[in-house]
Amino acid sequence: MLAQPATPAAIARRDAVIDIDPDASCLEIQGLSLAYAGTPALSDLTLRVPRHRVTAFIGPSGCGKSTLLRALNRLHDLNETVSRRGAIRLEGQEIHAPEVAVAELRRRVGMVFQTPNPFPMSIYENVAFGLRLQGGLRKRQRDEVVEWALRSAALWDEVKERLGDSAWSLSGGQQQRLVIARTLAVKPEVLLLDEPASALDPISTLKIEELIRNLKSQLTLVLVTHNMQQAARVSDYTAFLHGGELVEYAPTDALFTNPRLARTENYITGRMA
Name the residues that contact ligand ATP, by CB under 6 A.
36, 41, 59, 61-67, 226
CB of 67 to ligand ATP, least distance (A): 3
Binder of residue 41, out of ligand ATP, Mg ion, none (CB less than 5 to 8 A by kind) = ligand ATP
Q: How many whole angstroms separate alpha carbon 7 and alpha carbon 72?
A: 29
Nearer to ligand ATP, 41 or 178 (CB): 41
> What part of residues 58-77 is at the interface with Mg ion (CB under 5 A)?
66
Binder of residue 205, out of ligand ATP, Mg ion, none (CB less than 5 to 8 A by kind) = none
Torsion of CA 253, 257, 262, 268, to 10 degrees: 80
Q: Should residue 175 be labelled a site residue for Mg ion when binding is judged by CB under 5 A?
A: no
Nearer to ligand ATP, 66 or 126 (CB): 66
Nearer to ligand ATP, 70 or 207 (CB): 70
CB of 69 to Mg ion, least distance (A): 8
Nearer to ligand ATP, 124 or 240 (CB): 240
CB of 27 to ligand ATP, least distance (A): 17
Kindly state the number of chain residues that form the binding site for Mg ion, as judged by CB under 5 A: 1
Nearer to ligand ATP, 68 or 261 (CB): 68
Interface pattern 109-128 for Mg ion (x via CB under 5 A): --------------------
CB-based burial label for 74 (10 Å; 0-12, 13-18, 19+): middle
Helix axes 139-152, 123-134, angle to 10 degrees: 120
CB of 62 to ligand ATP, least distance (A): 4
CB of 114 to ligand ATP, least distance (A): 8
CB of 213 to Mg ion, least distance (A): 22
Nearer to ligand ATP, 28 or 194 (CB): 194
> Residue numbers of the site for Mg ion (CB under 5 A)?
66
